[in-house]
Amino acid sequence: MHRLNVLARFGIVWVTLALFVVLAVTTDGFLTAPNLRNVLDQQATLLIAASVATLAMIAGGFDVSIAAIAVVAPLVALRVENATGSVLLALVAGCAFGLAVGLANGSIVAFARINSFITTLAMSFIVFGLGYIVSERSILRPVSENFRDIARTRVLSLTTATWISLAVVVVAWVALAGTRFGRHVYATGGNAEAARLAGVRTRRIVVAVFALSGLAAGLAGVVAASRTISATPSDDFSFVFGVIAAIVVGGTSIAGGTGAVWRTLLGAFFIAFMVNGFNLHQVDPIWQRVIQGVVILVAVAADAWSRSRRA
Amino acid sequence: MIAEPARGSVHVELTSVSKRFGSTQAADGVSLAVRRGTIHALVGENGAGKSTVGKIVAGLYASDSGSVAVNGRAVRFRSPWHALDAGITSIAQELALVPDRTVVDNVFLGVESVRWGCVRPRESHRRFRALADRTGIHVDPAARVGDLSVADQQRVEILRAVARRTELVVMDEPSARLSVSERSQLHRLVRSLRDQGITVLFISHFLDEVLALADEVTIMRDGRVVRTTAPAAETADSLVEAMIGRELDATFPPKPASPDCTATPALSVRGLRCAGSAGADPSTGLDLDVAAGEIVGIAGLVGSGRTEFLRAVYGADPAEGGEVMVGSQPLRGARPDQAIRVGVGLIPESRKDHGLLMERSVRENVSLPHLGRVARAGIVSRSAERRLVRAANTDAGVRDGGMETPMRLLSGGNQQKCLFARWLVPGLRVLIADEPTRGVDVGSKRAIYDLIASAASEGLAVLVVSSELEELVGLCHRILVMRDARFVAEFTHPDLDETELLRHAFGEAPVSEAM
């Protein structure tokens, strides 16, 4: 029973390791430096948003506005870049936009007590709409050559996108696992009333996690725009689906109160390795979606099952 | 059923049933025969395995080994549905009703009167009236269940069980959340169920209740059956001895020396008006002083405004007016974190809903209000935290040093001790405890009384609310009686008397109603 618990608790570790080993043995071109560097680079934007969104999820919040922020923050950033020519100002503007939307989300959830899924869904429509207004419905491109350097500079053979994502993961990890703030995040999501009676200022925590989640989504959006050297207005929610998939496959509960940033890191890489393996084996991308969906269901079912076993 | 089995024949029989959770052997070779049409009580300390046995009978848990037989036929319930089919229903401590639906809807949930797929309300009401007449349970059928008192909700659950032609009801701590008068109504109801031929497996902490009500008593300790006897052959003391496996020490610790009430009180409440306390005169509020080293009790019926008062003092709910002073520092706004900063700690009424984070470790639960003390620049020092928690756990007598154990795996008594440990840190001045021994076993009760007494002798001001008058009389220097959100009487040690307290708590109502 005890051994079973360890298996279940760290399931995502074993599964990700197993997948890695299987792919390394069976798939030509998987275990090569360029391929792995490529996977890291491709996962960068998702990891930036997902590692911070994990905090919101653990605090009991559900942030779907990540997709909208990641679409619109680079539009804001490029508008600023086009006007000023400053890459730094563009980066700051994109992040500030995400932070502002996140603060609005958090304040509405904490003070108006509207369900966070509904709040951030409504906010998504507002933000998507703002994106069309800001960009005047056109694709924006940087005027400066340097804009691409945000994500595409190579340092020690890894891209800056990778380095930024690793930095964000480390900061989110330490903030959650090592700080007073992180403990308060767990407490708020685990039992908000108990946390409040133990002196946790739960509303502040809720505002803070949504603000940080928005900030990270803004940064992720700017990094993505820097990789593609453009930004397009849209109302595409798909980014947040990838983020939530990584969080839940890692084993963070959508009910709040439990989870970890390392879990999200593994969840993201599990999905990334899977997709990479499919691509190397030239599996039809349409079937890839179906299989991905099944994998997410299995992961969540396994988690629910292991929870119900420990009465 | 072709022939109704005779009353007194064996209804449910457990043979060498065992059940393990992780490293805890919750039931260890339990053999037990429950006779048809009797009230069979299960008693034992928390963690003795009585709830586990109740849940195995009700099909909520599957046993690891051993066998269960109903009416002489071996059964293996894999879910509560199988148990329902066999005529067994359970009424848990936490009630399982749909709060937004009416009483009728809840009673017939899953067994509705249906024609063409549509529920027939008139037929349902007719069935409901028949059921009410048969059982003598009268609850407004159109009331929303969430608006009912706990006692009425419990009646709805019992009606639901009867509506399903239940032959055996497992009741797990049914009286734990009831007031004294509601308990005696429950007892009448349980007896009437038995008189209709329904078997009742009655799990309870209240030994007087068990002795008065049960036809047979099974005493459990450490997952094993100690003995099954007739209550006539037992006394409360003999039950306790069998439950804890030794003789019980005196029930209450000696009271700490009477405090110096002339000094500035540690806690001073003036004109406090609690939000939403019905019947309160809005022109006056509540006044109370508690001296350092003094234990003050608040008695009163459930709904008298005791809990609202404590929560307003602590800042858990906003007050509509008045002033709370801790020493010379005023407390303002609904801010528990500020109350904690000036040295006030609250042990709330419900451990599970308002006290603990069940998924988190003992360490994280105990240190939660004090992370500022063990963190530098926001980063928590694990070693400083462990030192703080170890000292507090030692003081509170939290059993076994598993600081990393998830809270949900601890027994009720140990969970409650963890809540005490949370406040046994240097700098605390006022300890507020709401029902500190609710759902706690006999052995842990004494430990909790000791903790309260020693906290006071170390100079803390202690404010206790309890439904158990004996507990207040045994512990407190002074007791205030609350009724309709007002203090109606005050008694000082040694003039503390349960009957007098009750009389004031009920107002003009006859005292005989209470047990």
The CATH number for B290's domain is 3.40.50.300
Q: Cβ of A199 and B316 within 8 Å? A: no
Confidence class for position B508, pLDDT limits 50, 70, 90: low
Q: Does residue B463 register a pLDDT over 90?
A: yes
Average pLDDT score over chain A: 92
| Better pLDDT: A77 or B471 | A77
What is the mean predicted confidence (pLDDT) over A198-213?
97
The 3-class secondary structure across chain A, one letter per residue, is CHHHHHHHHCHHHHHHHHHHHHHHHHCCCCCCHHHHHHHHHHHHHHHHHHHHHHHHHHCCCCCCCHHHHHHHHHHHHHHHHHHHCCHHHHHHHHHHHHHHHHHHHHHHHHHHCCCHHHHHHHHHHHHHHHHHHHHCCCCECCCCHHHHHHHHCEECCEEHHHHHHHHHHHHHHHHHHHEHHHHHHHHHHHCHHHHHHCCCCHHHHHHHHHHHHHHHHHHHHHHHHHHHCCECCCCCCHHHHHHHHHHHHHCCCCCCCCCCHHHHHHHHHHHHHHHHHHHHCCCCHHHHHHHHHHHHHHHHHHHHHHHHHCC
Task: Tell me how far CA of residue A293 lies from CA of A26, A104, A241, A290, B162, in angstroms.
Answer: 23, 32, 11, 5, 45
Are A126 and A105 within 8 A, CB to CB? no
CA distance B448 to B396: 8
Size of interface A-B (CB pairs under 8 A): 83
Does A7 reach chain B within 8 Å, measured CB to CB? no
Residues B207 and B90 in one domain: yes
What is the mean predicted confidence (pLDDT) over A90-103?
98
What is the mean predicted confidence (pLDDT) over B380-402?
87
Q: From the centroid of its chain, how far is CA B485?
A: 22
Does A200 reach chain B within 8 Å, measured CB to CB? yes
Q: Is residue B515 part of a domain?
A: no
Residues B199 and B335 in one domain: no
Residues B398 and B488 in one domain: no
- The structure tokens 């963690």 sit at B47
Q: Tell me, what's the pLDDT at B23? A: 63
Q: Tell me, what's the pLDDT at B91? A: 85
Which residues of A are less than 8 Å from B369 in CB distance?
Answer: 198-199
Helix or strand holding residue B195 (H, E): helix B180-195
Q: Tell me, what's the pLDDT at A58? A: 97
Q: Tell me, what's the pLDDT at B304? A: 80
The domain containing residue B200 runs over which residues? 10-244
Residue B172, strand partner residues: B203
Q: Does residue B461 register a pLDDT over 60?
A: yes
Token code pair at residue A11: 């399931």
CA distance A147 to A229: 7
Of residues A181, A199, A311, nearest to B337 (C-beta): A199
Looking at the complex, report in whole angstroms how far the Cα of residue A105 sits from the nearest Cα belonging to chain B.
Answer: 23
Residues B203 and B323 in one domain: no
Are A58 and A176 within 8 A, CB to CB? yes
DSSP B512: G
Which residues of A are less than 8 Å from B341 in CB distance?
Answer: 199
Per-residue model confidence as pLDDT tens digits over B313-323: 999 988 888 88
Q: Tell me, what's the pLDDT at B277? A: 53
Q: Does residue A142 register a pLDDT over 90?
A: yes
What is the mean predicted confidence (pLDDT) over A60-85?
96
Which residues of A are less than 8 Å from B339 in CB distance?
Answer: 199
Domain count, chain B: 3
Q: Tell me, what's the pLDDT at B401? A: 60
Helix or strand holding residue B379 (H, E): strand B379-380
Residue of A nearest to B21 (CA): A310
Q: Is A99 exposed, middle or buried (0-12, 13-18, 19+ CB in 10 A)?
A: buried
Are B339 and B314 within 8 A, CB to CB? yes
Per-residue model confidence as pLDDT tens digits over B158-216: 888 888 888 999 998 888 777 777 888 889 889 989 998 999 999 987 888 899 999 99
Q: What is the percent of chain A with per-residue pLDDT over 70, rounded to a whole number? A: 95
- 3-state secondary structure (DSSP) of residue B495: coil
Of residues B22, B353, B369, nearest to A1 (C-beta): B22
Residue B118, strand partner residues: B115
- 3-state secondary structure (DSSP) of residue B385: helix
Are B482 and B282 within 8 A, CB to CB? no
Q: Cβ of B22 and A2 within 8 Å? A: yes
| Better pLDDT: A3 or A120 | A120
Residue of A nearest to B356 (CA): A194
Residue of A nearest to B419 (CA): A198
Task: Tell me how far CA of residue A164 lies from CA of A215, A226, B245, B311, in angstroms.
Answer: 14, 13, 62, 46
Does B343 reach chain A within 8 Å, measured CB to CB? no
Task: Tell me how far CA of residue B352 lies from CA of A192, A240, B384, in angstroms.
Answer: 12, 34, 27
Q: Is residue B252 part of a domain?
A: no
Q: Tell me, what's the pLDDT at A311? A: 42
Residues B406 and B434 in one domain: no
Amino acid at A259: G
Confidence class for position B281, pLDDT limits 50, 70, 90: low
Q: Give B86's contacts (C-beta < 8 A, 6+ positions apart).
A: B70, B75, B77
Which residues of B are less than 8 Å from A199 in CB distance?
Answer: 336-337, 339-341, 368-369
A275-300 burial, b at 16+ Cβ within 10 Å, e below that, comes to bbbbeeeeeeeeeeeeebeebbeebb
Of B380, B404, B426, which closes a domain?
Answer: B426
Residues B317 and B171 in one domain: no
Q: Tell me, what's the pLDDT at B320? A: 85
CA distance B513 to B197: 27
Q: Cβ of A194 and B422 within 8 Å? A: no
Q: Is residue B255 part of a domain?
A: no
Of B244, B273, B308, which closes a domain?
Answer: B244
Residues B305 and B386 in one domain: no
Q: Does residue A279 register a pLDDT over 80?
A: yes
Q: Tell me, what's the pLDDT at B318? A: 87
- 3-state secondary structure (DSSP) of residue B245: coil
CA distance A4 to B214: 41
Per-residue model confidence as pLDDT tens digits over A230-277: 999 999 999 999 999 999 999 898 889 999 999 999 999 999 999 999
Considering the segment(s) A9-304 as one domain, its CATH architecture is Orthogonal Bundle (1.10)
Looking at the complex, report in whole angstroms how far the Cα of residue B116 sits from the nearest Cα belonging to chain A.
Answer: 36
Whole-prediction pTM value?
A: 0.79
Q: Cβ of B356 and A194 within 8 Å? A: yes
Longest Cα separation, chain A: 63
Residues B312 and B179 in one domain: no
Q: Which of B 270-289 lie inside 8 A of A, CB atoms?
A: none
User: Strand ranges (DSSP E) for B110-198?
Assistant: 114-115, 118-119, 168-172
Residues B74 and B193 in one domain: yes
Residues B450 and B469 in one domain: yes
What is the mean predicted confidence (pLDDT) over B351-372?
93
Are A53 and A66 within 8 A, CB to CB? yes
Residue B490, strand partner residues: B480
Residues B405 and B462 in one domain: no
Of B189, B216, B244, which closes a domain?
Answer: B244
DSSP B353: I
Q: Cβ of A179 and B375 within 8 Å? A: yes
Residue of A nearest to B337 (CA): A199
Q: Cβ of A180 and B378 within 8 Å? A: yes
Confidence class for position B114, pLDDT limits 50, 70, 90: confident
Q: Is residue B349 part of a domain?
A: no
| First and final C-alpha spacing in chain B | 38
| Better pLDDT: A70 or A304 | A70
Residue of B nearest to A2 (CA): B22
What is the mean predicted confidence (pLDDT) over B239-248?
74
Domain boundaries, chain A: 9-304
Q: Give B362's contacts (C-beta < 8 A, 6+ positions apart).
A: B389, B393, B398, B402, B403, B404, B405, B407, B410, B418
Does B358 reach chain A within 8 Å, measured CB to CB? yes
Q: Which of B 416-455 lie inside 8 A of A, CB atoms?
A: 422
Are A80 and A231 within 8 A, CB to CB? no
Looking at the complex, report in whole angstroms how far the Cα of residue A182 sits from the nearest Cα belonging to chain B.
Answer: 9
Q: Are strands B267-274 and B88-91 parallel, antiparallel or unpaired?
A: unpaired
